[in-house]
Amino acid sequence: MPNTTLGCPRTWDGLLCWPMAGSGEWVTLSCPDFFSHFSSEPGAVKRDCTITGWSEPFPPYPVACPVPLELLTEEKSYFSTVKIIYTLGHSISIVALFVAIAILVALRRLHCPRNYIHTQLFVTFILKAGAVFLKDAALFHGENTDHCSFSTVLCKVSVATSHFATMTNFSWLLVEAVYLTCLLASKSPSTRRAFWRLVLAGWGLPLLFTGMWVCCKVAFEDVACWDLDDSSPYWWIIKGPIVLSVGVNFGLFLNIIRILLRKLEPAQGSLHTEPQYWRLSKSTLLLIPLFGIHYVIFNFLPDSAGLGIRLPLELGLGSFQGFIVAILYCFLNQEVRTEISRRWHGHNPELLPARRALTKWTVPSRSGVKVLTSVC
């Protein structure tokens, strides 16, 4: 007499993850979400747990979840193209960001708190791009991956790193806006202590919330690779602070515009102040709504909403964000261009581009003497 106490283990058949079942039990699963893009009618597949193991799917996948072969080929080619685009975008961004960091670090006259903040914003985009490459290597390293039991340490680390990188992106964009607001609202530079408080918040808060999320996943939801979070309440430990930072950034965005309009009134300043304030503000004023809108649109829509448009915009164009930041904050920065021109042509003032005399930052040198630096 066959042993009917034996069951069937959890199994990945390449399309669905079949749960554990007792001998003689029928299990019914809906077609993978992917198939909903090809048919409006939901299909279902059944399997019987027999004494010899799982039976073949009934009805077969081509019948229960029909997909035209030519469409499947087109979809595979489409996703491969999207991956090539965002890999290229992140690679270009990394190169541009490293060049930008090297310029800001190598040119001593550019050493000032505002450029220090730019540099750390650049680092967050490098971290974000690296997290994407790490996540791709961990999650998509082979076609025969068992997604039922796929739960390696590398996989979980890659997901946690991706969340941390995303949070640091938004925290440092918030630091940029906070620092610019303080700079515009006050005639005197911020103190070194205030600057280091911003640095601590920019790195510390993302680390705190990511650590809380990791602890909750380990303790209460240690399932698979932690990459399926949409229905998890712990997902808000990551999403909540980011949404809050986007909201605060928009508030600061409006406040910066208000301060600029007030500063640019004839009674409030001279003609020399107008380019100074616009120069300080234009990059941040562009990035706040650009990145904020990007996040809100693509993180509050369902995954299946507008997939054909969502993927190229979110993954493709989003991968060039680091490149855009490097251009706005470094390559198009007037102080950077002036200093590079000074180094290229030498110290002859006749060969330097003309610029107005503006308030300059000073930082203490090792000898205790104030060192003149560029405008920030």
Q: Is the pLDDT of residue 363 over 50?
A: no
User: What is the residue type of 220?
Assistant: F
Strand 53-54: give its sheet, edge to edge: 26-30, 44-50, 53-54
CA distance 369 to 168: 35
Tokens for 32, please give them.
Answer: 């993978």
For residue 3, is it left (φ>0), alpha (ψ between -120 and 50) or beta? Answer: beta
* Cβ count near 52 (within 10 Å): 10
By C-alpha distance, which of 54, 40, 49 is closest to 12? 54
The mean pLDDT value for 20-30 works out to: 85
CA distance 216 to 75: 36
**Residues near 134 by beta carbon (within 8 Å), at least 6 away in sequence:** 157, 158, 161, 162
Long-range contacts of 98-102 (CB under 8 A, 24+ apart): 98/126, 99/326, 99/330, 100/326, 100/329, 100/330, 100/331
Note the pLDDT tens digit of each residue in 74-86: 667 777 888 888 9
Tokens for 245, please give them.
Answer: 């930072």
Count Cβ neighbours within 10 Å for each residue of 216-251 and write b for 16 or more, e otherwise.
bbeeebeebbbeebeebebbebbbebbbebbeebbe
Contact 24, 4 (CB under 8 A): yes
Average pLDDT score over the chain: 75
Tokens for 116, please give them.
Answer: 């220090």
What's the pLDDT score for residue 40?
65
Residue % of the chain over a pLDDT of 70 = 66
Q: Is the pLDDT of residue 287 over 90?
A: no
**Residues near 361 by beta carbon (within 8 Å), at least 6 away in sequence:** 112, 113, 114, 189, 373, 374, 375, 376
The mean pLDDT value for 140-160 works out to: 71
The mean pLDDT value for 343-356 works out to: 53
What's the pLDDT score for residue 315?
76
Q: How many residues does the chain have?
A: 376
More confident residue, 280 or 115: 115
Note the pLDDT tens digit of each residue in 213-246: 999 988 887 776 776 656 678 888 988 898 888 8
- pLDDT-based confidence at residue 361 (cuts at 50, 70, 90): very low
More confident residue, 352 or 92: 92
More confident residue, 145 or 181: 181
What's the pLDDT score for residue 303?
53
Q: Is the pLDDT of residue 3 over 50?
A: no
For residue 348, is it left (φ>0), alpha (ψ between -120 and 50) or beta? Answer: beta
Distances (CA, A) of 31 to 139, 192, 204, 241: 21, 58, 43, 35
Distances (CA, A) of 165 to 131, 159, 162, 213: 7, 10, 5, 14
